Amino acid sequence: MRIIFLLLVASLTFAQKPALQKDRQILLDFRKDRTAAQPNIPAATQRMVLAKLFRRYLTDVSKCNSDLAGTDSSDYLAAARKAGQIVPSIVATATGSFTAPGQSQTLYVISVSECNASHADMFGTKRVAIFSGQQLVADVDVDFKDSIERKTDLNSDGIDELLMSTSDMHQGDVDEVAALLSFQNGRMRVIHDFGPVVEDTCASERPGSYSKASVLYLSDVVPGEMPKLSVENFQAGCGKTRRWRLISRGKMQQ
DSSP letter at 195 equals E
The number of folded domains in the chain is: 1
Radius of gyration of the chain (CA): 22
The structure's pTM equals 0.87
Give domain status of residue 70, yes or no: yes
Give domain status of residue 10, yes or no: no
Give domain status of residue 140, yes or no: yes
What does the buried/exposed string (b/e) look like for 155-180 if buried means 16 or more CB atoms within 10 Å of the residue's CB? bebebbbbbbbbbeeeeeebbbbbbb
The predicted-structure confidence for 43-97, as pLDDT tens digits, reads as follows 999 999 999 999 999 999 999 998 765 444 568 899 999 999 999 999 999 999 9
Average pLDDT, the chain: 89
What confidence tier does 22 reach under pLDDT thresholds 50, 70, 90?
A: low
Give domain status of residue 42, yes or no: yes
Give domain status of residue 237, yes or no: yes
Determine the structural domain holding residue 39 and report its residue range: 18-249
Give domain status of residue 5, yes or no: no
| Widest distance between CA atoms in the chain | 84
* pLDDT in the model for residue 6: 38
Q: Shortest CA distance to 144 belongs to which of 181, 191, 199, 116? A: 181
Contact status, residue 214 vs residue 149, Cβ threshold 8 Å? no
* pLDDT in the model for residue 1: 44
More confident residue, 180 or 172: 180
Task: Measure CA 178 to chain center.
Answer: 7
Give domain status of residue 160, yes or no: yes
| CA separation, residue 63 to residues 85, 116, 122 (Å) | 9, 11, 20
pLDDT of residue 11 exceeding 90, the answer is: no
pLDDT of residue 5 exceeding 60, the answer is: no
Give domain status of residue 254, yes or no: no
